[in-house]
Structure 1
């Protein structure tokens, strides 16, 4: 599945669900199925945190979730683990500032895969763009407890700055986003929102995804 085209990528990023086993109250495969039923448009496998799976068990879960995505034609992206992304022939990877530079990742995964980069400043954004990033993840927009080492929330300031400077690369907001505040992120210039617990910890995963999608498309 090649989603690197800018226009199709903007649509793909609309409702971006990130999840691994530590983020789920029930079976991750079931959570993913329910989230897809609710209308997510992209899935990122992020197996990090307390009691995260490693080794063969991590690969096994990744393969199971990837098969679910393939069945429903949802792009499957891997967080940070470039080797795993290559092994699974994933649709792309998402990297942070502490990971390998985007240019090196591009050389490893080829030119048909998507690279997303977390950026926190204009300079980081420009470096990522030069390195071959396909989209930016910007945040935390709102305070979040999901990522232990998350930087302070900065609202939609950087999203607005990049758009004001004419940067048209697809952008997804991340961090503390819920159905209630998702519209403000889209209004600031983001193409989509990425969430973890707003979907994975919801009483009804499907309804949470539906609600988020509705707010994103309303803008």
Structure 2
């Protein structure tokens, strides 16, 4: 009695889907395979049977030469004819049940899914993998179902999965990172069409894509796939080590003088720049979209503050986040007044769907708006009401969902990376009485994250798969602690009579703040959530 041979093990890391209308030459498959493509799907929606068969055979000949699996889109008969390794079925194609009856038992079967119900059905049908998509909008095929979006992929990752459609070098890292589920599952690979087949250098493009995928996958098991470390500069998670980490970052900021690019509220751009200078950074307040690519190469960190949103700044914000991701540099999002208008809500969602925020910073009303919670209301840029019943859990949940550090400011500040949650209890009420106090908080966080990104983590340097090295949670904590402790000292000077005299005193205290004062005054609480 003979047993059924096993199905071929397939590496889905870089899954090339063919598109002949985009091909620059017949050598593209060989070049793409040499660049790192791990599996090829032949998709010919407009070809008749004879033409499809000819194309499939030619593709298999090339792939066999390089020991690369071939999967046929839709056509079970073509897959049988060329002895393909697998078949990929859409929701309107032949059912999995019928395909299994017709195909050899060694054939891999994949299915496209667009929602949770389709994914659950694929699991019940016993498919070998699912293709989730479209993740991004695409021009390579007419979409019959809505775009899933990066931030909605995670809930579908209950089976082996490949992200499909619209994936390019510019959004690949965002796709991989944003698609990690709450439980830590990530994509097994990405399906790419035009980025490779329409390129004049398919080998180099494939090599770049494969490198990003492998870099990410090698670090996925660390911190539930988060692209930053929580090393506290080499120590365990204790109040003492957090404070010492902040002190170390304060010293390094003054030594390194990081270049901090800020697209921010023009009402308070001057004081944001002055605060950045006072703590040891060097601000660049540029908003022209044409400058974003060059600035991403030279700056250490980036602040995107939607306080005075315009169509021009919106375009610049879209660009700088993508370029910052490509450069593996931290980008801080401050969704000022997101609850005030639908335009602001739509803009923030578009930004978060396009690039990966390292830190999301807002007041309780702004955090509630991003989280989709009605627990806290807002009026303009301010929160109203009593706030979250359990703020520590609220920021932790949002951090896990967005794969970002989340900072919620208020009388008590809460910070979480989805694993560790910290509250900070320093500050003075006058800090909330000056225009743009939240904006300057974002400037401080961005400055310290820029230096934290250049500090090796406890693993000894860049950690594969993480967007930056060093400790972004610590950078966010440093930005809050330095500002709030300086606010306490400013009021204690004796010459502050109200908001008008408070701001210049605050800037002076930021300039002269001593590390011993931080050690002495820091009120840090670790939360078990």
Report the TM range for the smaller structure's normalisation.
0.7 to 0.9
Partner of 1:101: 95
Which whole-Å CA distance do the structure 1 matches of 2:31 and 2:25 have between them?
Answer: 11
Asked if the contact 1:101–1:131 (Cα under 8 Å) also holds between the matched residues in 2, the reply is no
Partner of 1:203: 200
| Selected match of 2:85 from 84, 87, 91 | 91
Which whole-Å CA distance do the structure 2 matches of 1:175 and 1:97 have between them?
Answer: 16
| Selected match of 2:33 from 13, 36, 48 | 36
Of 56-65 and 87-96, deviating more is 56-65
Asked if the contact 1:122–1:158 (Cα under 8 Å) also holds between the matched residues in 2, the reply is no
Q: Please state how far the C-alpha of 1:181 moved relative to its aligned partner.
A: 1.5
TM-score when scaled to structure 1?
Answer: 0.87
Which whole-Å CA distance do the structure 2 matches of 1:158 and 1:150 have between them?
Answer: 18
Asked if the contact 1:40–1:213 (Cα under 8 Å) also holds between the matched residues in 2, the reply is yes
Which whole-Å CA distance do the structure 2 matches of 1:95 and 1:78 have between them?
Answer: 9
| Selected match of 2:169 from 179, 182, 198 | 179
Q: For residues 21 and 173 of structure 1, do their structure 2 counterparts lie closer, same or farther at Cα, with a shift above 3 Å needed?
A: same
Which whole-Å CA distance do the structure 1 matches of 2:55 and 2:206 have between them?
Answer: 22
Q: Is 1:216 equivalent to 2:226 in the alignment?
A: no
Asked if the contact 1:140–1:150 (Cα under 8 Å) also holds between the matched residues in 2, the reply is no
Describe the superposition over 1:17-43 as per-residue Cα deviations: whole angstroms up to 9, x where unpaired.
Answer: 00042231322xx11111111110000
Q: Please state how far the C-alpha of 1:66 moved relative to its aligned partner.
A: 0.3
Larger Rg: 2
Q: Is 1:133 equivalent to 2:130 in the alignment?
A: no
Which whole-Å CA distance do the structure 1 matches of 2:164 and 2:144 have between them?
Answer: 11
Q: For residues 127 and 91 of structure 1, do their structure 2 counterparts lie closer, same or farther at Cα, with a shift above 3 Å needed?
A: same
Asked if the contact 1:183–1:218 (Cα under 8 Å) also holds between the matched residues in 2, the reply is no
Q: For residues 60 and 145 of structure 1, do their structure 2 counterparts lie closer, same or farther at Cα, with a shift above 3 Å needed?
A: same
Which whole-Å CA distance do the structure 1 matches of 2:200 and 2:28 have between them?
Answer: 11
Partner of 2:70: 76
Q: Please state how far the C-alpha of 1:202 moved relative to its aligned partner.
A: 1.1
Which gives a bigger RCO, structure 1 or 2 (Cα 8 Å, sep 6+)?
A: 1
Q: Is 1:64 equivalent to 2:63 in the alignment?
A: no
Asked if the contact 2:135–2:167 (Cα under 8 Å) also holds between the matched residues in 1, the reply is yes
Output the aligned Cα RMSD.
1.7
Q: Please state how far the C-alpha of 1:151 moved relative to its aligned partner.
A: 2.8
Asked if the contact 1:17–1:42 (Cα under 8 Å) also holds between the matched residues in 2, the reply is yes
Asked if the contact 2:85–2:107 (Cα under 8 Å) also holds between the matched residues in 1, the reply is yes
Q: Please state how far the C-alpha of 1:110 moved relative to its aligned partner.
A: 3.0
Q: Please state how far the C-alpha of 1:57 moved relative to its aligned partner.
A: 2.6
Asked if the contact 2:115–2:156 (Cα under 8 Å) also holds between the matched residues in 1, the reply is no
Partner of 2:23: 24
Which whole-Å CA distance do the structure 2 matches of 1:152 and 1:3 have between them?
Answer: 36
